[in-house]
Amino acid sequence: MGYYNQTPNGRQRPNRTGVFFSGLAGVAVGALLVWLLFYSMPGLLPENDTGSETVIEQTNGSSETVSVDVTTDVTEAVEIASDAVVGVSNLQSSTDFWSQSQNQAVGTGSGVIYKNEGGTAYVVTNHHVIEGAEGLEVTLYDGSKVEATLVGSDIWTDLAVLEMDGSTIETVAEFGDSDALKQGETVIAIGNPLGLDFSGSVTTGVVSGTDRAIPVDLNGDGQEDWQAEVMQTDAAINPGNSGGALVNLAGQVVGINSMKIATSAVEGIGFSIPINSALPIIESLEEEGEMIRPAMGITLLDLAQVPRNARLETLNLPEDVTEGVVVNDVVEGSAAAEAGMERYDVIVEMDGQPVSDIIELRQHLYNEKEIGDTLNVQAYRNGELMEFELELVDNSTL
C-alpha cells in the first residue's frame, strides 16, 4: 500500500484540487449539521451553568460558549463527604521575642466529623496528630476555626476523638462497611495536606490491599512495639492528611488515613485504618475517654533481647528455647499475680498458640480476648514448662 500521492502501476494521480474543494464542502456541511443538531433540540445540553465550558464554532466564523456540568461518581462522593473533613492543629506553648507565652500550631493534620448531638460535635483523628497538644483547633470546610478539646486517644490504634461546639456544623460523615471493600475498588482520600491552606484536598486511587500488618515503633526506641492492621491504597496520602477520610464512591467513610511509606524508592503506598476496626475504639474513647482492654498485669521483654548467657544462667532456659516473652515485673493484685506468675517467667504460648515476641502477645491479648475472659498461658520457670490460668481484668484498674 502506498501513500496517497504515489502512482503505482502507472496510474494517474487523482485530481487533488477537486478533492480539496469536495472535502471543504463536506466539512462545511458537517459543521452546519452539528450546529442544527445542538440548537434545534431543546434539552440536549445540560442547563446547569456551573460546570466546565465548551466552545462550539459555527460556520460563519463566530463562536458561542456553552456550559457543561461534568458530574462523575468521584465528584458526587466528594460533594457528600468533603464538608465533614476538617483540619486539626496541635497547639503547644512557645515564648516569643518579648518572653510572652502563647500557643502556636506545631503540627497539623486532618479529622472527620462523625457525630453532632446535643450541640456537641465529635471528630475522629489520629493519636499522633494530637499527641502532646496543650490546645486543639479545628478548621472547618469554610475556613472558620473552632476550639476543640480531647475526649480520649489510643496510641495502639493511632486514633483519637475530639469534641467541639456543634452549633454551626451541618454535615457529618456517614460510615461505610470496610469489610465489603474489594481490591481494585476506587477510593478517595480527603484531607489537609502539608498543613497548608489546602483543606478538603482530594486524591483518588484504588484499594491496593485490604489486610496489611505494618510494624510500628510507638516510643521511638528503634524497636517495633506493635503491628498496625491497616488497608493499603495508592491514593496520595501526604503529611497533613493523617486523620482524614478515605471515602468510597457512595461518599461513605471506609477508613481513617494514618500513614505512608516515604522513601525515594517507593511511590503510592499509603495506609488507612479500616473503619470497622476503628468503630469500637471510637465508641470506647467517646464513652470512657480511653480504650478499655483486657490486662494481664505484667511488664514485658522480648527474649531475643536477652543475651545467651543470661538465658542459660539467669532464666535457666533449655538451649532450644530462643523465642518468647520474658516477664520483667508483675503488678501486685493483677491477673498474672493471682495466677501465680513471677518475674523471669518466659511466656512461650497463649491459648495453645505459640508466642514468639511482645507484638504477638499483644495482638492475641488485644484482638482475641475481652475483659473477664480466661487466658491460658504456658511459660518456662527455671527450665520447667508451667501452665497458668489468668482471668483478665480491666487495664484501667491497674
SS3 string, 268-309, reads CCEEEEEHHHHHHHHHHHHHHCCCCCEECCEEEEEHHHCCHH
Query: Same domain for 109 and 172?
Result: yes
Beta bridge pairs of residue 56: 64
Please give the span between the terminal C-alpha atoms of the chain, in angstroms, as a whole number: 87
Report if residue 7 sits inside a domain: no
Final residue of a structural domain among 26, 41, 70: 70
Query: Same domain for 44 and 86?
Result: no
Query: Same domain for 254 and 391?
Result: no
Domain containing residue 208: 71-291
Report if residue 4 sits inside a domain: no
Query: Same domain for 281 and 311?
Result: no
Which residue in 83, 154, 158, 345 is the catalytic one? 158
Give the angle subtended at the CA of 283 by the CAs of 278 and 286, to the nearest 5°: 120
Query: Same domain for 61 and 75?
Result: no
Query: Same domain for 266 and 188?
Result: yes
Give the count of alpha carbons within 13 A of 28, CB side only.
Answer: 9
Which residue in 89, 110, 201, 242 is the catalytic one? 242
Final residue of a structural domain among 261, 291, 321: 291
Report if residue 6 sits inside a domain: no
> What's the rounded Cα separation, in Å, for the pair 156 and 230?
12
- Catalytic-residue membership of 127: no
Report if residue 302 sits inside a domain: yes
User: What CATH number did the domain enclosing 138 receive?
Assistant: 2.40.10.120
* pTM, to two decimals: 0.73
Report if residue 1 sits inside a domain: no
- Output 58 or 118, whichever has higher pLDDT: 118
Which residue in 128, 178, 258, 345 is the catalytic one? 128
Nearest CA to 123 among 87, 91, 177?
87
Per residue in 31-82, pLDDT (tens digit) is 555 455 544 444 444 444 444 555 555 555 666 666 667 788 999 999 999 9
Query: Same domain for 372 and 298?
Result: yes
Query: Same domain for 193 and 242?
Result: yes
CA distances from 286 to 8, 140, 151 (A): 84, 21, 6
Query: Same domain for 383 and 254?
Result: no
**pLDDT recorded at residue 4:** 28
Give me the number of domains the chain comprises. 3
Query: Same domain for 124 and 141?
Result: yes
DSSP designation for 333: T
**pLDDT recorded at residue 51:** 47
Final residue of a structural domain among 230, 265, 291: 291
- Catalytic-residue membership of 302: no
Query: Same domain for 206 and 86?
Result: yes
Query: Same domain for 133 and 213?
Result: yes
Per residue in 128-181, pLDDT (tens digit) is 999 999 999 999 988 899 999 999 999 989 999 999 999 999 999 999 999 999
- Catalytic-residue membership of 242: yes
